[in-house]
Amino acid sequence: MTIQTHKRTCSLCEATCGIEVRHEDGQILSIKGDKDDPFSKGYICPKATALQDLHEDPDRLRLPMIRRGDEWHEVSWNEALDYTASELMRIRDQHGRDAVASYLGNPNVHNYGNLLFGPMLLKAIGSKNKFSATSVDQLPHHMASLQMLGHQLLQPVADIDRTDFLIIIGGNPLASNGSMMTVPDFRGRIKGIQARGGRVLVIDPRATETARVADEHWFIRPGQDIQLLLAVLHVWVHELSAQLPALPDYVTPADLSAICAGMTPEHAADRTGISAEAIRQLAGDWLSAESASCYGRMGVSVQQYGGLCQWLIMVLNIVSGNFDREGGLMLSHPAVDLPAILAARGSRGNFNRYQSRVRGLPEFGGELPVSVLAEEILTSGEGQVKALVTMAGNPVVSTPNSTQLVTALDSLEFMVSIDYYLNETTRHAHVILPPCGPLERDHYDLIFNSFAVRNVAKYAPALFPPDKGAKEDWQIIHGLLKRMGRGSLKTRLQGRLVLGIMGWMKPSGILNAMLKRGPYKLTLKQLKAASSGMDLGPLRPCMPERLFTRDRKLHLAPDLYLEELERVRPQLLAKNVEDLVLIGRRHVRSNNSWLHNSRRLIKGPRRDRLMIHPEDAERFGIAEGGTVEISSRVGKLVTEAEITEEVMPGVVSLPHGWGHNVDGVRLETAREAGGVNTNVLTDDARLDGLTGNAALNGVPVSVAAVSR
């Protein structure tokens, strides 16, 4: 055999980098950046090579497994699918539809087969207890898009390649490679802004990797961003109103001075730790910049005021005259226009159509906040959850109050996990259904092209054929659905027909149909011919045509936000600053909880150390490298301290995704590294009051030195 080169998109994170895989005889020789990819131009991060490790990983499951007691047994696909379908139907028939819950993890959005087939499985189950990683992540973004623009997936992004002033609040793209904004080579693009004479400001309680390459970094006390955002608005309304541009006709006006009432820069300075002078400077620079865009991510979404923060960030981008224009905040025009396709079927997104059974938290987009998953399993009564389906998710490590969730999972009558690994979550399942690996399936970015800072499209066929009998995720779902038909003969026959057609079309056939209907009328054949991807041009203005609101207006200040703001105003006026709070962090050689079995990615010093400021270390008698116990309302754990001025006083930082050294986990390398699971500390009762998103950042904790 000769050496061959295969081009595709790295499916590990949101940056969608083009890669070139050299291979021979089914063996991978190298993975490099694809210089011909019009979007990533050869850029990759160290994680791309982990695709090889994932492909070759002896711990990655190849056959379905059923657990009997503590023993796992490999079984045939038929046996596993029959057993799973019959258990799910048994529980549904005995306890009702809501008794079967589901949790979809982050990799589902990187797998277009799952995106196309997953919703059918959830519909067949018919439960209101649907959960996903959205509610430990980007829920506030979807809420703002839905309430203001009329569609939960219409996500504006900073026009980073043309902006003069980029303000990053609570995001660390140099480690994460960007999120809710698809930007390969963030570092290169920041350099581009600086080379054009523009400026980048980072606002973060930690002096991050991104802060180091920015022009300026300001520390901010966790959870106090709302004060800063309101104070900027206050300066604009009361001190710089003459400079404020008129709102476009398509924007419904709002009483801005009521929104920022009382929120002076002096007031904000006292809470944020940023001086009133700096806030006035920012407000002025923002208005006088040729163009500006403000981008807020995990640090402002996954916190107490996440919903209000993401709304206010949009408000500031719009009121400053930077919405829908070059260099400001813009919308993409993807080749598959997902918002338009969904809207044509009447699906724009929903909020609060129903509530969770125990705590009454609101639904969003057909899901409930995952912070209630454990209590829905543990609280008896009508509608109690008895079975769980997890798909590409590791909630034990990713969602708040892990200890409680572990107790809950152990009490389930039945649990099935569609996953590559026997990990912290799937070890609780009765069946694991492992799909084939990411190089054994075709790929198209249905979601991330919609959040991209340039219009692009790229399709890659599978690199390797799957092992004999192996199934892709969508085939597993298809197999379950075929076994789960219920209802009258007519409904069952109709269901069979739809399944038959979708199975025959496969994800690629459905993709082809969607591409043809899209704004560029592309075909799969054209995409296949452009193996490095197609460039469809820079972002372009599209307002008000692309709005999905019924009145075709952009709603600047929906009542829901105004009501929430009034609810929290007393908290904002009081000084609610905690003594010591915990925040998260990410590392460029890691990816949430599931790439730690790659030796080359995890090598080096342990990464789950608690970052603590020297003043706090002294206050609590903690030594560099010393053992430290961290406690919160719901749990405690012990790790090593790293004393650093990288975090501000009053703030400690731990990454999530660790804690692999647990009985029953079959991940040899990850188990050796072990680490601590920070979500033992995060609290299922701490939420964004508006959306129900978890508030994983800003958790009040105490620390103590442990003598050994």
Ligand X SMILES: Nc1nc2c(c(=O)[nH]1)N[C@H]1C(S)=C(S)[C@@H](COP(=O)(O)OP(=O)(O)OC[C@H]3O[C@@H](n4cnc5c(=O)[nH]c(N)nc54)[C@H](O)[C@@H]3O)O[C@H]1N2
* Alpha carbon separation from 361 to 291, 300, 371 (Å, rounded): 39, 21, 9
Binding of residue 392 to ligand X (CB under 6 A): yes
Among ligand X, Mo ion, ligand SF4, none, what does residue 15 contact (CB within 5–8 Å per kind)?
Answer: ligand SF4
Of 531-539, 629-637, 664-672, 676-684, the segment contacting ligand X by CB under 6 A is 676-684
List the one residue out of 627, 622, 588 whose CA is nearest residue 604: 588
408 vs 388: CA distance, rounded Å: 11
* Alpha carbon separation from 252 to 107, 145, 149, 388, 558 (Å, rounded): 37, 15, 11, 43, 9
- Backbone phi and psi for residue 627, each to the nearest 5 degrees, phi listed first: -85, 135
Considering only residues 258 through 297, tell me which ones interact with ligand X, judged by CB under 6 A.
Answer: 297
**Residue with nearest beta carbon to Mo ion:** 137
Site size toward ligand SF4 (CB under 6 A) is 12
Binding of residue 48 to ligand SF4 (CB under 6 A): yes
State the binding string over 203-222 for ligand X (x if CB under 6 A, else -). Answer: xxxx-x-----------x-x
Site size toward Mo ion (CB under 5 A) is 1
State in angstroms the smallest separation of the CB of 533 from ligand SF4: 13
Binding of residue 598 to ligand X (CB under 6 A): no
Of 9-17, 22-30, 405-413, 540-548, the segment contacting ligand SF4 by CB under 6 A is 9-17
Indicate the DSSP class of residue 146.
Answer: I
State the binding string over 161-190 for ligand X (x if CB under 6 A, else -). Answer: --------xxxxx-xxx-x-----------
What's the full length of the chain, in residues?
708
* Alpha carbon separation from 476 to 12, 117, 431, 538, 565 (Å, rounded): 21, 10, 13, 38, 45
State in angstroms the smallest separation of the CB of 673 from ligand SF4: 19
Binding of residue 423 to ligand X (CB under 6 A): yes
Of 133-141, 216-224, 433-441, 447-455, the segment contacting Mo ion by CB under 5 A is 133-141
Closest CB to Mo ion among residues 283, 300: 300
Among ligand SF4, ligand X, Mo ion, none, what does residue 304 contact (CB within 5–8 Å per kind)?
Answer: none
**Residue with nearest beta carbon to ligand X:** 299
Binding of residue 650 to ligand X (CB under 6 A): no
Closest CB to ligand SF4 among residues 184, 657: 184
248 vs 95: CA distance, rounded Å: 53
* Alpha carbon separation from 125 to 85, 167, 477 (Å, rounded): 10, 43, 12
Binding of residue 223 to ligand X (CB under 6 A): yes
Cα end-to-end distance, the chain, whole Å: 58
Structure tokens at 92: 């549904």
166 vs 520: CA distance, rounded Å: 30
613 vs 140: CA distance, rounded Å: 30
Closest CB to ligand X among residues 100, 139: 139
Of 44-52, 242-250, 347-355, 681-689, the segment contacting ligand SF4 by CB under 6 A is 44-52
Q: What's at 575, amino acid-wise?
A: K
147 vs 218: CA distance, rounded Å: 30
Closest CB to ligand X among residues 593, 632: 593
Q: Of residues 6, 7, 8, 17, which one binds ligand SF4 by CB under 6 A? A: 17
Please answer whether residues 54 and 411 qualify as being in contact, where contact means their C-beta atoms are separated by less than 8 angstroms: no
DSSP assignment of 265-290: HHHHHHHHSS-HHHHHHHHHHHHHSS
Closest CB to ligand SF4 among residues 44, 554: 44
* Alpha carbon separation from 407 to 336, 396, 401, 403, 412 (Å, rounded): 42, 10, 10, 7, 9
Of 132-140, 522-530, 562-570, 612-620, the segment contacting Mo ion by CB under 5 A is 132-140
Binding of residue 137 to Mo ion (CB under 5 A): yes
Please answer whether residues 138 and 153 qualify as being in contact, where contact means their C-beta atoms are separated by less than 8 angstroms: no
Binding of residue 175 to ligand SF4 (CB under 6 A): no
Binding of residue 87 to Mo ion (CB under 5 A): no
**Vertex 267: Cα angle to 261 and 270 (nearest 5):** 155
Structure tokens at 680: 């033992």
Site size toward ligand X (CB under 6 A) is 63
Binding of residue 84 to ligand SF4 (CB under 6 A): no
Binding of residue 646 to ligand X (CB under 6 A): no
Closest CB to ligand SF4 among residues 21, 45: 45
Contacts of residue 589, Cβ cutoff 8 Å, sequence gap at least 6 = 46, 47, 601, 602, 604
Please answer whether residues 592 and 106 qualify as being in contact, where contact means their C-beta atoms are separated by less than 8 angstroms: yes
Please answer whether residues 624 and 641 qualify as being in contact, where contact means their C-beta atoms are separated by less than 8 angstroms: yes
Considering only residues 180 through 209, tell me which ones interact with ligand SF4, judged by CB under 6 A.
Answer: 184
Q: Of residues 159, 473, 608, 642, which one binds ligand X by CB under 6 A? A: 473
State in angstroms the smallest separation of the CB of 228 from ligand X: 8
Binding of residue 391 to ligand X (CB under 6 A): yes
| Burial annotation 620-656 (CB, 10 A radius, 16+ → b, else e) | eebeeebebebebebbebebebbbbebbbbbbbbbbb
DSSP assignment of 285-327: HHHHSSSEEEEE-HHHHSSTTHHHHHHHHHHHHHHTT-BTSTT
Q: How do beta strands 351-355 and 362-364 pair?
A: antiparallel
Among Mo ion, ligand X, ligand SF4, none, what does residue 102 contact (CB within 5–8 Å per kind)?
Answer: none
Among Mo ion, ligand SF4, ligand X, none, what does residue 113 contact (CB within 5–8 Å per kind)?
Answer: none
Binding of residue 45 to ligand SF4 (CB under 6 A): yes
Binding of residue 608 to ligand X (CB under 6 A): no
Indicate the DSSP class of residue 380.
Answer: -
Please answer whether residues 427 and 397 qualify as being in contact, where contact means their C-beta atoms are separated by less than 8 angstroms: no
Indicate the DSSP class of residue 152.
Answer: T
Binding of residue 446 to ligand X (CB under 6 A): no
309 vs 497: CA distance, rounded Å: 46
Among ligand X, ligand SF4, Mo ion, none, what does residue 593 contact (CB within 5–8 Å per kind)?
Answer: ligand X
Among Mo ion, ligand SF4, ligand X, none, what does residue 176 contact (CB within 5–8 Å per kind)?
Answer: ligand X
Binding of residue 136 to ligand X (CB under 6 A): yes
Among Mo ion, ligand SF4, ligand X, none, what does residue 677 contact (CB within 5–8 Å per kind)?
Answer: none
DSSP assignment of 78-108: HHHHHHHHHHHHHHHHHH-GGGEEEEE-GGG
State in angstroms the smallest separation of the CB of 474 from ligand X: 10
Of 13-21, 133-141, 422-430, 579-587, the segment contacting ligand SF4 by CB under 6 A is 13-21
State the binding string over 107-126 for ligand X (x if CB under 6 A, else -). Answer: x---x---------------
148 vs 159: CA distance, rounded Å: 19
Binding of residue 124 to ligand SF4 (CB under 6 A): no
Of 130-138, 308-316, 386-394, 635-643, the segment contacting Mo ion by CB under 5 A is 130-138
Residues that bind ligand SF4 (CB under 6 A): 10, 12-13, 15-17, 44-45, 47-48, 177, 184
Binding site for ligand X (CB under 6 A): 13, 105-107, 111, 133, 136-137, 169-173, 175-177, 179, 203-206, 208, 220, 222-223, 225, 297-300, 303, 391-395, 398, 418-421, 423, 435, 473, 583-588, 590-594, 656-657, 678-679, 682, 696-698
The residues that touch Mo ion, with contacts defined as CB under 5 A, are 137
